[in-house]
Amino acid sequence: MSWKITAFARRPVIEGALLAHEDAWDWDPDIVISGSEIAEDKPDDWQLEAWLPRKPGKADKAALAGLFGGSPPPFEIEKLPDVDWLTQSQQGLEPIRAGVFHVHTPDHPALSEGGIRDYCIPASQAFGTGQHATTAGCLAMLTHMKVQGVVVRNLADIGTGTGLLAFAALHLWPRALATASDIDAVCVGVVEDNAELNGVAMGAAPGEVTMLVADGMEHPLLEARGPYDLVIANILAGPLIGLAPDFAKALIPGGHLLLAGLLESQEAQVRRACRLAGLRLAARLVNGDWSILWLRKRVGIRGRKARTGALAEWAQRW
């Protein structure tokens, strides 16, 4: 990506633009955007960044301006060096501890500690090295689910990226069938390399990871291997809302759904879509500005509630 457009505004304005982007079904896939706070000491001052593989034209600028509802902030446009910015941004990241997991890049040593599963995830073109709040939050929630007695025999990780969450789930439930998928074909090689590096078996048998290229739940093998005890999806709020009925359909009664990639401000919309699909909240945690949701598919006749109990009170802030 050789060009970047940056817009600075207050957090609600940038979040509104991100929501508009998720709803833009005709968005140019060559334009990749993200939003973030500018500095930790200024949590309400945010920026929207857009990366393009070309010099921005009038149509590109108009598309970005349209995300702000007709009142866009000023844009800063800059040409960037020829660098893989996703990989570059992940290099040198500090290791993280989340639940029973320790995740680090090759720049840091493994953690030799009893009861801790160590993963080395190199910086790559796929999302999910563990340092992002959503991935770390999923690792913590998966650990909590295991502690709460959840049993998983068949799982799917949708939008797997580096494969880390599929690996982690298989560590917690080592006899499960595990299916990982991503819409980006580059993730196939990334997952295979990371599996070899971390001693994770690839294949179709219990205890192995099967990797697919799929858009959401649309793949014959994803359908054939269901229904699932656990579906993980760390993607974006818009796709989570759209996929809620498909996730519910893919789960066994009482099955578990772990969602991430949504801002706390987007949580109500995601939970509403899940509720309409027959999914009920079991627990949630908030890591920074990001919500991580554990939901369960309703069991039995109408009105019967899934057993959530005190779980819904767990880790309102993490």
**Contact criterion met (CB below 8 Å) for 105 and 92:** yes
CA dist 254 and 311 (Å) reads: 15
Tokens found for residue 233:
């999806």
Tell me what the pLDDT averaged over the chain comes to.
84
Domain with CATH 3.30.70 in the chain: 3-82
Amino acid identity of residue 219, one-letter, is H
pLDDT at res. 295: 97
Quick one: pLDDT at residue 46? Answer: 92
Roughly how many angstroms between the first and final C-alpha of the chain, as a whole number? 34
Which region among 80-89, 120-129, 171-180, 196-205 has the lowest average model confidence (pLDDT)? 80-89
Domain covering 93-313 assigned CATH 3.40.50.300 in the classification = no
CATH topology of domain 3-82: Alpha-Beta Plaits (3.30.70)
pLDDT at 313: 38
Question: Is pLDDT at 86 greater than 60 in this prediction?
Answer: no
Residue 165 has pLDDT above 90, yes or no: yes
Hey, what are 244's tokens? 């809620």
Closest of 105, 119, 117, 89 to residue 4, by C-alpha: 89
pLDDT at 128 over 70: no
Enumerate the CATH 3.40.50.150 domain ranges in the chain, comma separated: 93-313
Cα dihedral 67, 72, 78, 84 in deg (nearest 10)? -20
- Per-residue confidence band for 35, with pLDDT thresholds at 50, 70 and 90: confident
* 48-85: pLDDT as tens digits: 888 888 889 999 999 999 999 878 898 999 987 665 54
